[in-house]
Amino acid sequence: MNFKKIILSLLVISVAITFTSCGGNDSSNSKSATDSTATGSSNTQILSAGSTFVYPLFSKMFSAYNQKTGVQVNYQSIGSGGGIKQLQNKIVDFGASDNPLSDDQLAQSPVPIIHIPDCLGAVNITYNLPDNPSLKFTPDVLADIYLGKLTKWNDPRIQSLNPGVKLPDLQISVIHRSDGSGTTFIFSDYLSKVSPDWQSKVGKGQSLNWPVGLGGKGNEGVSGLIKQTPGALGYVELAYAIQNKMPVASLKNKSGNFVAPSLASTSAAANVEMPADMRVSLTNTDAADGYPICSFSYILLYKDLSYNIKSEEKAKAVVDLVKWIIQDGQQYSEALEYAKLPESVVTKSLDILKGVTYNGKALQ
Amino acid sequence: MIPAISYKAKRINFKEKAFKKTLALSAIIVVVILIAIFLTLLINSFPSLKAIGFKFFYQTTWDPVSDRYGALPFLVGTLLTSFLALVISTPFSIAVAIFLGEYYKKGPVAEIFKNIVDLLAGIPSVIYGFWGLFVLVPLVRELEMKLHVPPYGVGIFTSSVILAIMILPFSVTLSRQVISMVPSHLKEAAYSLGATRHEVITKIIIPYTKSGLFAGLLLALGRALGETMAVTMLIGNTHDLPTGIFSPGNTMASVIANEFTEATGRIYTSALIEMGLFLFVVATIINIIGKQIIKRFTLE
């Protein structure tokens, strides 16, 4: 008797839960947003989502910030695309993306969105050859390898760039990312800039129609395929390459210097004139000692925070957090293999942050 | 007396009704969820259906940069890997099922084997993927070098082998049960007529259980069609139409898993959802065909 009752009531409850939780996403989201704002300043909760690339850095930064100020930041690393969508749906207080928004995306937004760089990343070329010599590539050689025009390691064009290395008579197995990724976007942005052929045949994007090669999922998938395949060549994030001690190639930059990828050469690449809205591609920049395949990772904010944040107090907390990330927070970057923002970028970002308002009123 | 009985009867009656209603409701919810998933997929694929139309099913270019989406290579990849996996796993699954359902029904040997087969089903697919990448890929590459095909290591064949291992427990469990349920008087009659054990298996057990064995294989095929993670890690993820069983390719489930998180354009997202719908429909069709075949076998 009792047992049946329990089962019955459990069934009824679970049915009820199913129905109530189906009652639309919007209402539950706005509810949680008001809940978090109502709790007051002592334990403010800031909600954010986006790029998986900055997640390790953000989780370190946010735990340090929580110890310092008591503000809790909940960051969901769901990918840049997801971060943008959640910002557009007003689910999060700020988003994070590895690529700036396109003109179209900005035009669609009812309230202007600003871009604040939070750190720098770079894309490295890595390979699997006997003894893993350090190699040099020029942009046209790299583009032609990825276009499938250069297929052998001992091709004269590669050999002449690396006179001290005996390159084997081996097929180049091209490896790329199979998942949609900011890393692919940066890499294809670079190839589009340096090769008109690539620009017209493939273009740039998070996912591409690759002319040749095998795809691996994530940095670990790419590096797994490279380690497995003699003669493989692929691209991974700078931090991933450093942590796994992978062989990396030096690239010839716009000024004609061969530059090895490192945190310093990545920061150096950003030491150039910035546009007013910070939406800039850092591939193939004019910096003489800069590595040519770099990119900002961005924090995305609404210019008027009353659009997605319920209280002025919380809006202020969000702006304070962003200011801390680009100033004091930068001390955590290099230990985690992210390149620091150059001083000029920090100054300019602080200027942009001064323009952030709440209901038309300046926040600072 | 009479009012008391009717009161009790009423209570019992109410309980009966409530219990029945709850059960009916749960059953309806399952149907509603299935229909809701189908409708969600359908509605969200309208933008791509409108923009791309039928080209989606026969075009071979998948190019998110220029918004051209053709899913044919992925359909071919999905069917090729799943059916190849089924072909590889079928002899093993039937052999294991006969071994466990006929030769060793009870005892420690049977228990150990049953648990090991069940354990195969419990291993997360990412672990199959890693094992495949580090153990199977070099082996396949050696095989490919001997066969003088391009030694990618990864590709349709490698994924099919992993899938074959992954789907094995699904068909074995069901097949073992039907084999152990063959009435003993049938088998004893055959033995009394002088049949050998081999003859009993091939002439009595397999004909008697063929619809059950087929249902097991079908269950396994359904699992192979939707498997994502292990396949993604081993198939090579190229967007070209596969040219043979050793060439790299891609499956529908794997493309969705790879590209959905970072898909930003409206048509791009919608095209991926349309592929989900497509996979849903393909899986349903295969299921329906399977049910029909089972019905026909059972009627005979």
Query: What are the residues of chain B with a beta carbon less than 8 Å away from any beta carbon of chain A?
Result: 15, 18-19, 22, 25-26, 29, 61-66, 133-134, 137-138, 152-154, 232-233, 236-239, 248, 250, 254, 257-264
Domain ranges of chain B: 2-51, 56-299
At the topology level of CATH, where does B56-299 sit? MetI-like fold (1.10.3720)
Closest approach of B175 to chain A, Cα-based (Å): 33
CA distances from B244 to B149, B160, B221 (A): 10, 13, 21
Report ipTM (2 d.p.): 0.81
The total domain count for chain A is 2
Averaged pLDDT for residues A217-231: 89
Report the alpha-carbon distance of residue B157 to residue B165 in Å, rounded: 13
B196-211 confidence digits (pLDDT tens): 999 999 999 998 888 8
Chain center to CA of A95: 11
pLDDT more than 70, % of chain B: 96
Closest approach of A224 to chain B, Cα-based (Å): 8
Q: Which of A85, A207, A228 lies nearest to residue B153, judging by beta carbons?
A: A228
- Domain shared by A252 and A340, yes or no: no
- Chain A contact set for B233 (CB, 8 A): 216-217, 221, 224
B147-195 confidence digits (pLDDT tens): 988 888 899 999 999 999 999 998 898 888 888 888 889 999 999 999 9
Domain that holds residue A249: 123-269
Report the alpha-carbon distance of residue B191 to residue B8 in Å, rounded: 58
This prediction has a pTM of 0.82
Residue B93: Cβ within 10 Å count: 27
Report the alpha-carbon distance of residue B189 to residue B167 in Å, rounded: 35
Residue A328 is classified by DSSP as G
Query: Is the predicted pLDDT of residue A18 greater than 80, yes or no?
Result: no
Averaged pLDDT for residues B103-132: 89
Query: Is the predicted pLDDT of residue A24 greater than 60, yes or no?
Result: no
Query: Is the predicted pLDDT of residue A202 greater than 90, yes or no?
Result: yes
Averaged pLDDT for residues A177-205: 92
H helix and E strand count, chain A? 14, 13
Residue B277: Cβ within 10 Å count: 20
B243-274 confidence digits (pLDDT tens): 888 999 999 999 999 998 778 788 999 999 99
φ, ψ dihedrals at B186, nearest 5°: -65, -50
Q: Which two three-digit tokens encode residue A330? A: 């930068």
The bridge status of strand A361-362 relative to strand A357-358 is antiparallel
- Chain A contact set for B148 (CB, 8 A): none
- Domain shared by A263 and A207, yes or no: yes
Averaged pLDDT for residues B27-56: 93
Of the pLDDT bands very low, low, confident and very high (cuts 50, 70, 90), residue A32 is very low
Residue A68 belongs to domain with CATH number: 3.40.190.10
- Domain shared by A262 and A357, yes or no: no
Range with the lowest mean pLDDT among A72-76, A274-278, B28-32? Answer: A274-278
Of the pLDDT bands very low, low, confident and very high (cuts 50, 70, 90), residue A92 is very high
- Token look-up 């990724």 returns A181
Residue of B nearest to A214 (CA): B236
- Domain shared by A83 and A195, yes or no: no
Query: Is the predicted pLDDT of residue A222 greater than 60, yes or no?
Result: yes
- Domain shared by A129 and A241, yes or no: yes
- Domain shared by A60 and A101, yes or no: yes
pLDDT more than 90, % of chain B: 49
Residue that is last in its domain, among A269, A303, A329:
A269
Task: Give me chain A's average pLDDT, please.
Answer: 86
Range with the lowest mean pLDDT among A39-48, A87-96, A141-150, B41-50? Answer: A39-48
Q: Which two three-digit tokens encode residue B132? A: 């495949």
Of the pLDDT bands very low, low, confident and very high (cuts 50, 70, 90), residue B298 is low
- Domain shared by A77 and A132, yes or no: no
Query: Is the predicted pLDDT of residue A156 greater than 60, yes or no?
Result: yes
Report the alpha-carbon distance of residue A172 to residue A232 in Å, rounded: 6
Within-domain flag for A276: no
- Domain shared by A262 and A162, yes or no: yes
- Domain shared by A104 and A146, yes or no: no
Report the alpha-carbon distance of residue A186 to residue A192 in Å, rounded: 10
Residue B225: Cβ within 10 Å count: 23
Is A217 in Cβ contact with B232 (below 8 Å)? Answer: yes
CA distances from A248 to A128, A169, A266, B72, B213 (A): 10, 20, 14, 37, 53
Report the alpha-carbon distance of residue A289 to residue A278 in Å, rounded: 21
Whether the CB-CB separation of B208 and B101 falls below 8 Å is answered with no
